[in-house]
Amino acid sequence: MTTIRTVAYQNLGWQTAADIHLPPGFDEGKKYPAIVSTHPIGSCKEQTAGNIYAKGLADAGFVVLVHDASFQGASGGTPRFIEDPAIRVSDIRFAVDYLQSLPYVDAERIGAIGVCGGGAYTVHAGITDHRLKALVSITGVNYGRLIREGFAQFKPRELAANIAQMRTAQAQGASRDAANLLPDSVGAAQQAGITDIDVLEATDYYKTARGQQPNGATSQLMSFSGAAMGWDAFLHAEVLLTQPLMVVIGDKPGGFGAFRDGWEIYSRAASTDKHIVVAEGWSHYDLYDKPEPVAIAMAKVVPFFKETL
């Protein structure tokens, strides 16, 4: 049986909150390979990155740390609900720092996994932090592209102008109001004419008992999203992404772009040991928690990490 330790450690100017999932029969006197698990945009450590993938990997014998992003969940940092890709990637580096400080972790056998936006953040962290020895992206989404395209309704210059106006207004005293990224319910989404599979299934996951958690706020301070507009998760992958890489996607494409992004990073990565796993008949959000597609993923991910770590 796995156990969970809740910990906190220093980030830049605040504390990060994290859960460490420990394997069955954990022995403080041994050295274990470890994995950093990174949650999706608007999510938290108790959702898919934690209760599905961290738990599954701990069951397989790994020490797995899943953290709340800075400015989100139980982690510190203000203003709240900032989604800055550079800081999300920095969070992964601090997670590696913390794991390397633990006596029961083998500092030379640390990998990383992430879900949705967390998958692409994991890839980007691996591009520039080669302490990470193996990388897995579960239905990873390049958030820079998503905000320029879907979030901006394919009008990125207009969104950039809107962000500038919001930031100016707030600098001059207007309140900082976080936007809810999703409709209140699937019914409300359908009534509004939304048909995209990713939006509907995200709402089903985050807004119902299926996946809802107190800290899974699905909220974002859009006035602080300017940094994401110019970000690319896969920058320099052709040169610097050399670690073993596994990309897991469903074959039902949606508006968040994981199917396209998965094939892109698989193609661009310089890694000689790289794999793409396509869960046929399943969607982006099926891979969050549905037993059958998760089993397809884990049947490949566990042996991959055992071989590379």
Which domain CATH number covers 127? 3.40.50.1820
DSSP state of 245: E
The answer to whether residue 56 is domain-embedded is yes
pTM for the whole thing?
A: 0.97
How far apart are alpha carbons 17 and 15 in whole angstroms?
A: 7
The answer to whether residue 169 is domain-embedded is no
The answer to whether residue 101 is domain-embedded is yes
The answer to whether residue 209 is domain-embedded is no
The answer to whether residue 301 is domain-embedded is yes
E strand or H helix that includes residue 63: strand 63-67
Tally of CB atoms within 10 A around 146:
23
Domain encompassing residue 146: 3-153+228-308
The angle subtended at Cα 196 by Cα 195 and Cα 202, nearest 5°, is: 115
Average pLDDT over every residue of 140-164:
96
Domains contained in the chain, number: 1
| pLDDT (tens digit per residue) in 26-80 | 999 999 999 999 999 999 999 999 999 999 999 999 999 999 999 999 999 999 9
Instruction: Measure CA 106 to chain center.
Output: 23
Tally of CB atoms within 10 A around 239:
10
Average pLDDT over every residue of 166-187:
95
As a whole-number percent, the residues of the chain with pLDDT over 90 amount to 99
Residue 2 has a pLDDT of 79
The answer to whether residue 162 is domain-embedded is no
| pLDDT (tens digit per residue) in 228-238 | 999 999 999 99
The answer to whether residue 159 is domain-embedded is no
| pLDDT (tens digit per residue) in 92-107 | 999 999 999 999 999 9
The answer to whether residue 131 is domain-embedded is yes
Is pLDDT of 301 > 80?
yes
